[in-house]
Each structure stands twice: as structure tokens, then as C-alpha cells.
Structure 1
Amino acid sequence: MQTALLIEQTLNGLQFGVMLFLMAAGLTLIFGVMGLINLAHGSLYMVGAFACATVAAWTGSFWLGLVASLAAAAAAGAIVEITVIRRLYDRDHLDQVLATFALILVFSEGTRWLFGSFPLYLNIPPLLAGAVPIPGGAQYPLYRLAIIGVGILVAIGLYLLISRTRLGMRIRAGESDREMIGALGVDIRTLYTVVFALGAALAGLAGAMVGALQSVQVGMGEPVLILAFVVIVIGGIGSIKGALVGAILVGLIDTLGRFLLPAALAAFMGPSAAASIGAALASMLIYVFMALVLAIRPRGLFAAAG
């Protein structure tokens, strides 16, 4: 049973890491191409979750809700980029932080006005409602495995997009020398809007998928946003590969730490003290790991060139 529990917690860590990757990939794309610190990225995660829950409740189809989450988050991202973010590119990072923090308040109060303060609930689709056996005799939810699979497919898709397509070539060029590609005739404004909408869609996808595992409520994106920033700092700002590796590491360290530390401390102290101290130490592990990574590699594990 302990083997099955360890495997289950490892899979939970992978699932958590994949969700963080979907958030961090959008963040690192936006920062890498635009040099913009976007604190409102968690609000786009929330938009995707609310769009999915609302459309799924109206239509009875989780899949239509998933499509709606992508469309709503991408549209919200494009509107925000055109109306607000576009005015911040030449400002310093403090102005960007203040403006995008204001957007968090706007999104939160707007969502509360539209949907109220009570949480929404999103059901797992029947196709993915079962469980599959894992070594040790336990069962693992099929939906969580599907999240892992979707994250892997998104990572492959982003790699192909950035390395094999004309849009990806422009994104890579924008990371290196945005003035030069503007001089060569590339519409920088359109490129920025597309990249911002793509990052927003990834955040919305993460919110929709996680919405079936927890309640959908106002402010749900802020805790995840903090962890997403930790991920891109560990992986290297501007690196999709770094975002994937960093997200998986953070997901595994956080989940396994919460599982293993209380069990290890129980050998030296009472169960109640071990549980409370272990939980406190586990919550610190990812930040300790981030500090160690930055001490050895100040620009992250896979820092983008430039």
C-alpha cells in the first residue's frame, strides 16, 4: 500500500506540475518577448475557469466549456493587451506591476459582479470519470492522468510552434531584437497581441482543467500565479523548456514534500506535531529549492539567450 501511495503522490505531483507549466509557459512567453511583468496572468486563469463552468452548466458539455475557456481567456488577453498593456511596454517594471495589479482588482470585482461571491462547480466529464489501476493495487483518477497527457501535448505543441513555424521564428526574433524585426517589416503590435492572447489561452486552459478538481471562485488565480513565477525563476525567464522542467520539479517537490516530511518526522515525534511541523516545512521547500538554484545558476536552469 505504501508503494501505491507513493506512486499516487508522484502522479499528483506531475499533474500539479503540468498545471503550473500551462501557467508558467504563458508568463515566460510574455516576459521573454515583451519584457512585461504581468501580475494579471492569474486573472486570465480565473476567466478560463469561470467560462468553462458557465458554458458547461448551460450546455451540459464539459468539452464545449473547455473550448469556451480557451476563447474567453484569449479574447480577454487580447483586449487587455490592446487597451492597457500596449501602453506599458516603454514604462519601467514598477509601472507594469502597478497597472497589472490594478487589473487583478478589476477582474476580481467584475467577476464577482457577474457571478456573485459563491463558488461554481464543474463536473468531470463522464468519459474521464473513471480510474485506472496503478502498481500496488490502488486506483488513480483517469481525469488527473488526462491533465498530465494534455500538458505533455501542449509542451510538444509549443516546441513545434516556436521551433518550426513562421510565427515561432518571429517570437524567437522578438526575444532577441524586437527593433530589428520591426525594421524588417514585422507588425510588432500584432505579434505582441498574438503572443499575449496565446499566453492567456494557456492560463485559461489550466483554469478550466483544474476547475473540475476544485471550486471555481473569485481570486483562485493569485496563489497559482505566485507558484508560476517561482517556476519561471527556477527554469529561466524566457525558456519554455525551463518552464516545463521547473514546473515538474516544483510540482513534485511540493506534493512529495507534503507526503514524505510528516511521515519522516513521525519517527522522532508524535503524529500531531509531525503533521503540523511537516506541513510547515513542506510549504517552504519550493522556495528553499529556488534559492539553491539561484545560488548556483542565477539566471535559472535553462535561461534563454540574450
Structure 2
Amino acid sequence: MSFLLLAEQLLNGLQFGVMLFLTAAGLTLVFGVMGLINLAHGSLFMIGAFAAAAVAAASGSFLLAVMASIAAAAAAGVLVEVLVIRRLYARDHLDQVLATFALILIFSEGTRWLFGSFPLFLDIPDYLSGPVTLPGGIDYPLYRLTIIGVGLLVALGLFLLIARTRLGIQIRAGESDREMIAALGVNISRLYTVVFALGAALAGLAGALIGAIQSVQVGMGEPVLILAFVVIVIGGIGSIKGALAGSILVGLTDTLGRALLPGLFGLFMEPADATSIGSALSSMLIYILMAVVLIVRPTGLYGARA
């Protein structure tokens, strides 16, 4: 593999990892602060993508579409938290899984009823289309570089929010001892709603950004949800730093595995066998990575030890 192709695959892996971070960051906040297993998080990703596609088709503005995706996903998150999730905090995880799985079905069928079964398409705006030349002569799509930049800016913003603001102090305290901060006068219900809305907004943003690369369709959030759970297990539940590290690891492992393994097996196998075995093994790599991390560090890379 040439240097240019390897560099391009590294950037693809970084872009994929940043997209996963936007989804996993909200999921790890909800899980860490609220102790809630939210299987419907992928549906919020889908809502953001559909809202962006619908607004872009109506207005022709990509920026307006992105803002609409954040607002729609956050609003859906608030409604879900107030009407459904709030009744599940005292229940065990099985009840949470069943209830949020039901929400997946409701959101999927509701979206299909509103938009139909055919996929929608969100076009990349002209000012973000085309390649740019990076040092070393690498031509890389400007839009994918924009995703990387937006994701890193969001990561920085989340770090500052958690470390430097009053809300961040409440979130960190809520992870450690929610009963104590409730006794100190913090409105737990409002805190949970804000955290859930923040997580939903991040998922919606990820859906809008990725919707310009792939088609926007019903069920697009479920594969991302599985990868997001892998990310937070690797990074450590409740850790934004862990979510970022885990996302980049998963993105690079998956992308480089799919690019390199078939060629590697082709050195000593027939091309057809090498492609088949390499593709099968590359799809397993992120789960092998998760298993190795859990063996070495059961709480994840940045998870708090009990």
C-alpha cells in the first residue's frame, strides 16, 4: 500500500472515529450520569438525519439543516425523557432495555409514516465539496475534513463544559453521588433532562453530518448504536475522554482493518480466499479490540474503578 493511500485511510478512520464520538459522547453521559441503558439513542441519530434532509430540501441551506437536526433531536430527547425515561430510573436495566427498544420501533414506524420507506439524500454544499490538497500531496475531501474539525471542536467544548462550568460540576457530581447533590438542592429531574437533551443533540448532529455521506433511511441509527456501545465500553462508562479515545481507536481499527487485511492475506492465499477471510476478520477487529481492553482494564481505558 502506498503512502498516499495509507494516509487517506488514516484520515478516513479519524473521520469515522469522530462521527462515532458525537454519538457515543451523549450515550456515555446518559449512561454515566443517569445509569440508563438507552437503546433508542440510535433513533435520535436517525431523527437528526431526517430533520436535516427535510429542512435542506425545503430551504436549500445546509447550515439551517444542521441546526434543525440538533433542535429536532434535542426536542425529541426532552419529550422521551419527560414522558417515558423519567419513569424508568428506579426500575432495573431489563425494564429500561425493553422500554427503549419499544421506542426504537415507535420512532422507526413514525419516521416511515412521515417520510415514506424510500431513502432521502442530503447534498454536500458547494462550499464544502471537492478535495483539498494536504501536505505530502494528499487530496482529501473537504467535507470529511470538516467533519473531523467539527468533531474535535465539539470534543473540546464538552471537555470545557464538564471541567469549567457549573453544569459540568453537577454532571460530575451526579455520576458520583446523585442522592447527595439532590440533598444539596440540585434539581435532579432538570439535570437529567438537560443531560438527555445534550446527548440527543449530539446524536442528531452526527446524523446530519453523516447523512451527507450516506443515504438517510429508516433504521440507519441501529448499526451506529452498536458501535457506540463498543466505544463507551472501551473508553470507560461516563468518560468523555474515554469516548474520544475509544471512538478514534474503533474508527482507525475498523477502517485500516478493512483496507489492509485482504491485501495482507493475499500475500499467501488465493485472491478470492484472501478477500473473503480478510473481510470477515476485519469486521471482527473492533470486538477483538474491546475484548483485549476489557481483559487488561475491565473498567475501560478511562473508566473509574469501583
TM-score by length of 1: 0.98
- For the pair 1:122 / 2:122, whether they are aligned, the reply is yes
Aligned partners of 1:125, 1:190: CA distance in 2, in Å? 37
Deviation at 1:136, TM superposition (A): 5.3
The amino acid across from 1:18 in the alignment is V
Give the whole-Å Cα distance in 1 for the aligned partners of 2:261 and 2:35. Answer: 38
What residue is the counterpart of 2:214 in the other structure? 214
Instruction: Write the distance in 1 (CA, Å) between the matches of 2:77 and 2:250.
Output: 26
Cα distance between partner residues in 1 of 2:168 and 2:138? 43
Distance (whole Å) between structure 2 residues aligned to residue 92 and residue 182 of structure 1: 21
Deviation at 1:132, TM superposition (A): 1.1
> Which digits, 9 at most, give the CA deviation of each residue in 1:263-294, with x for residues without a partner?
10110112222111110000000001100110
Equivalent position of 1:80 in the other structure: 80
Q: For residues 16-64 of structure 1, what are the alpha-carbon distances to aligned partners after superposition, in whole Å with 9 as ceiling and x for unaligned?
A: 0000001110000001110000000000000000000000000000110
Residue pair 1:78, 1:193 contacting (<8 A) in 2 also: yes
Q: Deviations over 1:76-117 (max 9, x none)?
A: 000000000000000000000000000000000000000000
Identify the residue that residue 300 of structure 1 maps to in structure 2. Answer: 300
Residue matched to 2:45 = 45
> Hey, what does 1:224 align to over in structure 2?
224
Root-mean-square deviation (Å): 1.0
1:172 alignment partner in structure 2: 172
Q: Which runs of 4+ in 1 moved over 4 A?
A: none
Specify the alignment match of 2:235 in structure 1. 235
2:284 partner letter? M
SS for the counterpart of 2:58 is helix
Shift of 1:304: 3.2
1:42–1:222 contact (8 Å) kept in structure 2: yes
Q: Does 1:143 align with 2:143?
A: yes
Q: Is the 8 A contact 1:129 1:142 kept in 2?
A: yes
Q: Which residue does the alignment assign to 1:3?
A: 3
What is the aligned length? Answer: 306
Q: Find the residue that maps to 1:53 and give its secondary structure.
A: helix
CA deviation after TM superposition for structure 1 residue 135, in Å:
5.1
In structure 2, the partner of 1:282 is 282
Structure 2: unaligned runs, 5 residues or longer: none
Q: Does 1:70 align with 2:75?
A: no
Aligned counterpart, 2:192: 192
In structure 1, give the amino acid aligned to 2:206: A
Residues in 2 aligned to 1:158 and 1:208: alpha-carbon distance in whole angstroms: 19
Q: CA deviation at 1:127?
A: 1.2
Q: Report the Cα offset of residue 133 of structure 1.
A: 1.6
User: What is the alpha-carbon distance in structure 1 between the residues aligned to residue 126 and residue 271 of structure 2?
Assistant: 39
Q: Which residue of 1 aligns with 2:152?
A: 152
Contact 2:131 2:140 in 1 (8 A): yes
Q: Find the aligned partners of 1:20 and 1:162 in 2 and give their Cα distance.
A: 19
Residue 232 of structure 1 aligns to a residue whose secondary structure is helix
The 8 Å contact of residues 26 and 203 in structure 2, kept in 1 or not, is answered as yes
- What TM-score results when the alignment is normalised by the length of structure 2? 0.98
Distance in 1 between residues matched to 2:136 and 2:245, nearest whole Å = 28
For 1:48 and 1:176, the matched residues in 2 are separated by: 31
Work out whether residues 3 and 135 of structure 1, in 8 Å CA contact, stay in contact via their aligned partners in 2.
no
Match of 2:20 in 1: 20
Q: Decide which moves more: 185-194 or 267-276.
A: 267-276
AA paired with 2:45? Y
Distance in structure 2 (CA, Å) of the matches to 1:77 and 1:127: 31
Do 1:4 and 1:134's aligned partners in 2 also have CA atoms closer than 8 Å?
Answer: no
Partner of 1:256: 256
Amino acid at match of 1:297: R
Question: Corresponding residue for 1:268?
Answer: 268
SS at 1:217 equivalent: coil
Q: Distance in 2 between matches of 1:269 and 1:132?
A: 37
Identity %: 76
> Any conservation in 1 of the 2:299–2:305 contact (CA below 8 Å)?
no
- How many Å separate the matches in 1 of 2:296 and 2:220? 33
